[in-house]
Amino acid sequence: MHTNHFARKLSLAAPLCLFAVGCGGDPMMDESMMGEAAPGETLTETAAPAAPEDAALATSEQAIGLGGTYWWGTSNNGLTSTAIGTTAGRTCFLTGIQGNLKGTSWAGAGVYQYAGNWQIFVNHTNSKALGTGVQCLNTATNRTPEMAWYKGQAAKLLGAVTADRRCFLTQVEAAGGFTSNSDYARVWNDGSNWYLGGNLGASGGARALCVDVPTAQGGWLWIAGNPGTFTHNLDYNPGGVACLLSGIGGNFSTSDFNDGVSIDYNSGTRYWEMTVSNSKRGWSNCVK
């Protein structure tokens, strides 16, 4: 059974670039791309169905009012998933993708809603390692329907910009896409509307939704050199902060649970951190 979580601290490599709110910034990552995790009720996890021998689920609770932190990964073929709690009053988003999205048919990972619960999942037919991280927030205020964008489509409208609306990824999918350093999918707003889109050289896409959380904490883009892996701080947690993926890009064709993009909370430093590997990139926004 594989139980290795994406490593928080690996051998360091100098980043190619960093864009951070307050430090120049990504022009499409303004402060309206951020929000707040509402203080929460205690998470009650549903019983997980029997998992394949090669699958692993890691969970943790941070003392910062969140609705659960999860990781799920396997090299077994087919759809593997498990319930991670109710959709009532909770909204879950991507915090990481690691491993191989390349294959002869569609592969994907992330989180979706089913029968009143959130389900974390991995789906592929390539017999390679693929894992995903998910963070849930204890809020469902004005949650929008999930939207999907695929290569060749115009950017998808997620909703109008409002004072409290924040949008993040929920799933990444590929059937040839996400195998080039230039491939990416992300959410952004132009001051009027939120969109989901990107640039892929072959078939693939992503899904996203929005929820209301009132406070913006900052936005970052980290890109790893190749070869190399590095970890860098995102936002400090003075209480109630969460950091989530608003975009992801790069070549996801390595069968390795330690190769990808991951956001994790370091309780020793009280910082949220992002780890990126081998030319991959991750956009993150933190909310409070």
Q: What is the pLDDT along the chain (288 residues), one digit of tens a residue?
A: 333 333 332 222 323 333 333 232 332 333 333 332 232 222 223 233 334 444 455 544 333 357 899 999 999 999 999 999 999 999 999 999 999 999 778 999 999 999 999 999 999 999 999 999 999 999 999 999 999 999 999 999 999 999 999 999 999 999 999 999 999 999 999 999 999 999 999 999 999 999 999 887 889 999 999 999 999 999 998 778 999 999 999 999 999 999 999 999 999 999 999 999 999 999 999 998
Is residue 24 packed enough to be buried (19+ CB in 10 Å), middle (13-18) or exposed (0-12)?
exposed
Domain boundaries, the chain: 17-287
| CA distances from residue 102 to 90, 98, 109, 123, 205 in whole angstroms, order as listed | 31, 12, 12, 12, 13
Q: What is the pLDDT of residue 47?
A: 30
Is residue 203 packed enough to be buried (19+ CB in 10 Å), middle (13-18) or exposed (0-12)?
middle
Q: What is the pLDDT of residue 216?
A: 74
Residues 6 or more apart from 261 whose CB is under 8 A from it? 96, 97, 98, 245, 248, 250, 274, 275, 276, 277, 280, 281, 282
Whole-prediction pTM: 0.80
Q: What is the pLDDT of residue 104?
A: 73
Q: What is the pLDDT of residue 189?
A: 96
Is residue 145 packed enough to be buried (19+ CB in 10 Å), middle (13-18) or exposed (0-12)?
exposed
Q: What is the pLDDT of residue 180?
A: 95
Q: What is the pLDDT of residue 65?
A: 52
